[in-house]
Structure 1
Amino acid sequence: MTVSPPAVGNDRPADPPAPVPADLPTDLAWGATWPSLATFRTLALDRRVIPVVRRLLADDVTPVGLYRTLAGGRPGTFVLESAEVDGTWSRYSFVGVNSRATLTVQDGRAVWLGDVPVGVPTGGDVLDVLGATLEALRTPAVAGLPPLTGGLVGALGWDVVRHWEPTLPAKAPEELGVPEVTLSLATDLAVVDHVDGTVWLVANAINFDATDERVDEAHADAVARLDAMQRALASPVATPPAVLADGPEPELEFRTARDDFEQAVRAGKEAIRDGEVFQVVISQRLDLDCPADPLDVYRVLRTINPSPYMYYMCLQDADGAPFSVVGSSPETLVKVTDGHVTTFPIAGSRPRGATPEADAALVTELLADPKERAEHVMLVDLSRNDLVKVCVPTSVEVVDFMAVRRFSHIMHICSTVVGTLRAGATALETLKATFPAGTLSGAPKPRAIALIDELEPARRGIYGGTVGYFDFAGNMDMAIAIRTALIRDGRASVQAGGGIVADSVESLEYEESRNKAAAAVRAVQVAARLRPGPA
Structure 2
Amino acid sequence: MTEPLICHSPFPYTASQLFALFADERDAVFLDSSLTNHLGRYSIIGLVPYHRVSVEQGQLKIDGKAREGTAETYLKAYLKKHYQANPTDLPLTAGAIGYVSYDYGLARYGMKSRHAPAFPLPDMNWVFYDFFIIEHRQSHAVWFAANGQTMPAEALLAQMKEKIRTRLQERPFPRTGENTQYAITVQPDSTCENYQRALKKLRDYIVAGDVYVTNFTSTFHVQSHCPPYTFFSRLRRDNPSPFGAYLQYGSHQIISASMERLLCLRDDQIETRPIKGTRRRGKTYTEDEKLRQELAQSQKDQSELLMIVDLERNDLHKICRPGSVSVPTLFAIEPYATVFHLIADVTGTLRPGQTAIDALTALFPGGSITGAPKQRAMEIIDELEFSRRQLYTGTIGYLSLDGNCDLNIVIRTAVHHDDQYIIGVGGGITAESDEAFEYEEIWQKAKALLSALKGDTFNYESYL
Specify whether residues 343 and 90 from structure 1 end up closer, same or farther in structure 2 by C-alpha distance, changes over 3 A only: closer
User: What letter matches 1:382 in structure 2?
Assistant: L
2:57 maps to 107
Quick one: which of 43, 48, 66 aligns to 1:93? Answer: 43
User: What letter matches 1:340 in structure 2?
Assistant: Q
Shift of 1:164: 2.7
1:132 paired with 2:61, answer no
2:437 maps to 508
CA distance in 2, matches of 1:429, 1:470: 12
Sequence identity, in percent? 29
The question of whether the paired residues in 2 share the 8 Å contact of 1:160 and 1:181 is answered with yes
Displacement over 6 Å in runs of 4+: none
1:233 maps to 164
The SS at the match of 1:469 is: strand
Alignment of 1:349-368 (within 5 A): 349-368=278-297
1:36 maps to none
1:281 maps to 215
Quick one: which of 58, 66, 69 aligns to 2:18? Answer: 66
Quick one: which of 423, 426, 435 aligns to 2:364? Answer: 435
CA distance in 1, matches of 2:163, 2:39: 26
User: What letter matches 2:115 in structure 1?
Assistant: A
CA distance in 1, matches of 2:437, 2:139: 46
1:55 maps to 8
TM-score (norm: length of structure 2): 0.92
Alignment of 1:15-34 (within 5 A): none
The question of whether the paired residues in 1 share the 8 Å contact of 2:56 and 2:124 is answered with no
Alignment of 1:326-475 (within 5 A): 326-475=255-404
Shift of 1:499: 0.9
Quick one: which of 120, 127, 142 aligns to 1:177? Answer: 120
The question of whether the paired residues in 2 share the 8 Å contact of 1:290 and 1:487 is answered with no
Quick one: which of 149, 160, 165 aligns to 2:104? Answer: 160
CA distance in 2, matches of 1:436, 1:510: 23
475-484 vs 431-440, which moves further = 431-440
Describe the superposition over 1:241-289 as per-residue Cα deviations: whole angstroms up to 9, x where unpaired: 6666675521211122221111111111000111111111111011112
CA distance in 2, matches of 1:373, 1:232: 51
The question of whether the paired residues in 1 share the 8 Å contact of 2:327 and 2:345 is answered with yes
Specify whether residues 248 and 188 from structure 1 end up closer, same or farther in structure 2 by C-alpha distance, changes over 3 A only: closer
CA distance in 2, matches of 1:238, 1:78: 20
CA distance in 2, matches of 1:148, 1:203: 12
1:79 paired with 2:13, answer no
Describe the superposition over 1:96-136 as per-residue Cα deviations: whole angstroms up to 9, x where unpaired: 2221132222231111336x9xxxx9333333322232222
The question of whether the paired residues in 1 share the 8 Å contact of 2:183 and 2:224 is answered with no
1:222 maps to 153
User: What letter matches 1:456 in structure 2?
Assistant: E
Shift of 1:145: 5.1
The question of whether the paired residues in 1 share the 8 Å contact of 2:43 and 2:136 is answered with yes
CA distance in 2, matches of 1:436, 1:404: 24
User: What letter matches 2:57 in structure 1?
Assistant: D
CA distance in 2, matches of 1:192, 1:429: 28
The SS at the match of 1:481 is: coil
Specify whether residues 224 and 79 from structure 1 end up closer, same or farther in structure 2 by C-alpha distance, changes over 3 A only: same
Shift of 1:329: 0.7
Shift of 1:527: 9.2
The question of whether the paired residues in 2 share the 8 Å contact of 1:288 and 1:493 is answered with yes
The SS at the match of 2:63 is: strand
Quick one: which of 204, 222, 240 aligns to 1:306? Answer: 240
The question of whether the paired residues in 1 share the 8 Å contact of 2:273 and 2:346 is answered with yes
1:151 paired with 2:95, answer yes
The question of whether the paired residues in 2 share the 8 Å contact of 1:123 and 1:129 is answered with no
The SS at the match of 2:4 is: strand
CA distance in 2, matches of 1:263, 1:271: 13
CA distance in 2, matches of 1:53, 1:408: 35
Specify whether residues 439 and 91 from structure 1 end up closer, same or farther in structure 2 by C-alpha distance, changes over 3 A only: closer
User: What letter matches 2:121 in structure 1?
Assistant: V
User: What letter matches 2:83 in structure 1?
Assistant: R
Q: Say how many residue pairs are matched.
A: 455
The question of whether the paired residues in 2 share the 8 Å contact of 1:297 and 1:527 is answered with no
1:484 paired with 2:436, answer no
CA distance in 2, matches of 1:249, 1:303: 20
CA distance in 2, matches of 1:222, 1:527: 45
The SS at the match of 2:398 is: strand
Shift of 1:522: 2.0
Shift of 1:190: 1.8
TM-score (norm: length of structure 1): 0.80
CA distance in 2, matches of 1:81, 1:242: 17
The SS at the match of 1:205 is: coil
The question of whether the paired residues in 2 share the 8 Å contact of 1:331 and 1:479 is answered with yes
Specify whether residues 90 and 480 from structure 1 end up closer, same or farther in structure 2 by C-alpha distance, changes over 3 A only: closer
1:202 paired with 2:155, answer no
The question of whether the paired residues in 2 share the 8 Å contact of 1:392 and 1:419 is answered with yes
Specify whether residues 248 and 330 from structure 1 end up closer, same or farther in structure 2 by C-alpha distance, changes over 3 A only: closer
Specify whether residues 188 and 412 from structure 1 end up closer, same or farther in structure 2 by C-alpha distance, changes over 3 A only: same
2:183 maps to 249
CA distance in 1, matches of 2:180, 2:396: 34
CA distance in 2, matches of 1:420, 1:438: 19
Specify whether residues 158 and 413 from structure 1 end up closer, same or farther in structure 2 by C-alpha distance, changes over 3 A only: same
Shift of 1:91: 4.4
Structure 2: gaps (5+ residues): 458-464
The question of whether the paired residues in 2 share the 8 Å contact of 1:137 and 1:472 is answered with yes
The question of whether the paired residues in 1 share the 8 Å contact of 2:308 and 2:368 is answered with yes
CA RMSD of aligned residues (A): 2.4
Shift of 1:170: 2.9
1:123 paired with 2:123, answer no
